Structure 1
Amino acid sequence: MIHIGEYNTLEIVRETEPGLFLSDKEDNEVLLPNRYVPESFEIGDELDVFVYLDNEERLVAVTDHPYITKGDFALLRCNAVTKFGAFLDWGMVKELFCPFKEQVFKMKEGGWYLVHCYLDEETERLVASSKTNRFLDNTNLTVEVFDEVDLIVSHPSEIGMNVIVNKKHLGLIFKDNIFKDLSVGDRLKGYVKKIRKDNKLDIVLEQIGYRSIEPNADIILKELKDNGGYLELTDKSDPELIKEVLQMSKKNFKKGIGNLYKQRLIEIKEDGIYLV
């Protein structure tokens, strides 16, 4: 089966005037227009192509790489707004449509929006939705406490920053656990700190407990080496200064320098820490 909105590995079955026809193992065919045909090829070769509907609503294969595929999330720019909805730049010839009913707030030309891409089963078109939460479900979690997870920053709240966890679940990083600037659409790693009774996920950006000591020690060590073996930081330094310099909490900073001190890699003096 040829999957719309996804990458497909298809076989070249014949060459025609408009381009190459590609086929899956079930003999379903799709056209690869001439502009995407490789310089050299043979019948029977396999190509990795992205499949979607073109401007004339025809199924077509391309070798372009869109910024978003079906089932994914991405921050996209709005190129135009019409009476039907918004059209987003996703790196393809045909822009990605986001109907008004799928917009949390009315989109404006030139604005950037985090959206989810899905297949409209009625029209077979790929469409976007900025109502990303409705594509996330915490009913049956696929993560556990301490797991490393992939995050996409979703939207801010009064108590922190909402994040998309592994493209499946909704999580929250509380303000007290944010030690770097985060922007909507950022992709980064995080860790599951707590799973609440209602399956809400508390996420942190630093490894938890004893697991955080070694990575933070490495960060401090690297910063020392980059600054000539000296940092004007101690366990009495202001937490905001530590956050600014190392992007970590004071608690994890103290664990990190304690680890380095035990290994006799640093000296701790009143004016800062020194690399031995």
Structure 2
Amino acid sequence: MDFNVGDQVDLIIVNETPLGYTVMINGVHEGLLYRNEVYVELEDNSKHTGYIKNIREDGKIDVSLRPQGFLNVIDSDVDKVMSLLNESPYGYLLLTDKSPPDHIRYHLNMSKKAYKKALGHLYKQKLITISDEKVALVDKK
């Protein structure tokens, strides 16, 4: 096996299991995509780009649909949040860091943890304000 953690691979969804989805990696190796890391609808035989998350001691491979590592993921999450804020007519979202995880998952296709990290990044750059009711762009008029 010539994979390293973080490698980009081609995935084919084989079937759904209680833990998640069995996948074929590059058409050769079997892997597992955990259910709690999937934020989109997946169908059997659908093709996706994935990333090697972990190669276990028993030789089994865990994969993810998202790049591994904070720096690889934060940029795309920040871009997604900024895009939604810029598309909003009033420059705000009614999803805050206190919103239920299922609301964030439904509207943004990301985990609450990822959303909060993106908000923290934008807040530190002084691009947004966060209140109990909304997240708003600083300079949107």
Aligned match of 1:252: 114
Aligned match of 1:217: 78
Cα shift at 1:231: 1.2
Instruction: Give the letter aligned to residue 60 of structure 2.
Output: K
Aligned match of 2:9: 149
Aligned match of 1:66: none
Distance 2:13 2:87 in 1: 29
SS of corresponding position for 2:15 = strand
**1:191-240 superposed Cα distances (whole Å, 9 cap, x missing partner):** 21111012211111222331221111111111222223221111111111
Cα shift at 1:168: 2.1
Aligned match of 1:58: none
**1:1-42 superposed Cα distances (whole Å, 9 cap, x missing partner):** xxxxxxxxxxxxxxxxxxxxxxxxxxxxxxxxxxxxxxxxxx
Distance 2:112 2:15 in 1: 26
Cα shift at 1:274: 0.9
CA contact (8 A) 2:98 2:132 kept: no
Distance 2:55 2:49 in 1: 17
CA contact (8 A) 1:192 1:203 kept: yes
CA contact (8 A) 2:6 2:51 kept: yes
CA contact (8 A) 1:206 1:248 kept: no
Aligned match of 2:129: 267
1:202 aligns with 2:62: yes
Q: Larger relative contact order (C-alpha < 8 A, sep ≥ 6)?
A: 2
Aligned match of 1:169: 29
The structure with more radius of gyration: 1
Instruction: Give the letter aligned to residue 221 of structure 1.
Output: M
Instruction: Give the letter aligned to residue 216 of structure 1.
Output: D
Cα shift at 1:151: 1.4
Aligned match of 2:39: 179
- Among 236, 239, 247, the alignment partner of 2:98 is 236
Structure 2 regions of 5+ residues with no counterpart? none
CA RMSD of aligned residues (A): 1.4
Q: Percent identity?
A: 39
Cα shift at 1:181: 1.0
| Aligned length, in residue pairs | 136
SS of corresponding position for 1:252 = helix
Under a length normalisation based on structure 2, what TM-score does the superposition of the two structures give?
0.88
Instruction: Give the letter aligned to residue 166 of structure 1.
Output: N
